[in-house]
Amino acid sequence: MNLAIDIGNTTVKSALFSGSTMKEAHMQFGELEEMLKRCKIKRAIISKSGEDAETEERLRELGIPVLYLNDTTALPITVTYKTPDTLGPDRIAGSVAASHLFTGHNVLKIDFGTCITYDFINQKREFEGGAISPGMMMRFKALHNYTAKLPLIDPMQYTAYELTGTDTNHSLLSGVMNGIKSEVEGIIKEYEARFGDLKVVATGGDSGLFVTLLKSEIFARPYLVLEGLNTILNFNQ
């Protein structure tokens, strides 16, 4: 069995794979610990955007060989990014999975996480680069932290985001939610105009929310980064 772990800025995700098939996925350390006790893990791969010393120490205690994904790791795609050493490993892993899902196509991967990242992989399986913008909660927090009177609101308490906000809370909702919606749709249209045969895949904690708001055809893949990590681990076998 393979174990893939994505240590992000706010969460730690893990998944168990048999070959290329995902058997289970978890979001909490306790769930990972329980899985480690009952499953025979042959090897593991870790992507680190954040820190989680507890998980890494546990793998060392169990003697599980770990591959750390970085800019020197062998990949099934070619990275043409000018500064690969600054490229987040989660972006690499998600791009590997997106390219693997849509072999022979141009692919735009959008990760709705702490930041919203856009990554383009062409039909020749070359990672060219993309864009990074503030994520949903980062935008709400910035509006609150950098002003004197704007409140910090929880967007999950609302089910609609009207274009014209009729009070301060709904104006904030419109600015952030409709702003992200317009941003994403605009970037997709730019890529569609420049590159034909484009597939769009979304992942990240907020992807489920925005995929339903967007008009473009987008494939939702919540565990895309973990799938990519497993693909990389198998490639390095």
Residue 186: give the domain boundaries: 71-134+178-235
Would you say residue 192 lies in a domain? yes
Domain assignment present for residue 55? The answer is no
User: For 10-90, where are the E strands, in sequence order?
Assistant: 12-18, 21-26, 43-48, 66-68, 78-79
- Among 124, 97, 125, residue whose Cα is nearest residue 111: 97
Q: What angle do CA 211, 213, 219 make, to 5 degrees?
A: 20
Mean pLDDT of 53-66: 85
Q: What is the pLDDT of residue 53?
A: 76
Residue 14 lies in a domain: no
CATH code of the domain in which 184 resides? 3.30.420.40
Average pLDDT score over the chain: 92
In a domain, 19, yes or no: no
Asked if residue 204 is part of any domain, the answer here is yes
User: Does some domain include residue 146?
Assistant: no
**Is 224 inside any structural domain?**
yes
Give the strand order in the sheet containing 2-7: 21-26, 12-18, 2-7, 43-48, 66-68
Dihedral in degrees, nearest 10, Cα atoms 44, 48, 54, 56: 30
pLDDT confidence bin for 29, thresholds 50/70/90:
low
Q: Which of 28-32, 107-111, 199-203 has the lowest mean pLDDT?
A: 28-32
Give the chain's domain count.
Answer: 1
- Catalytic center residues: 90
pLDDT confidence of 205, banded at 50, 70, 90?
confident
Q: Rounded CA gap, 24 and 133, in Å?
A: 31
Q: Looking at the domain assignment, is residue 161 inside a domain?
A: no
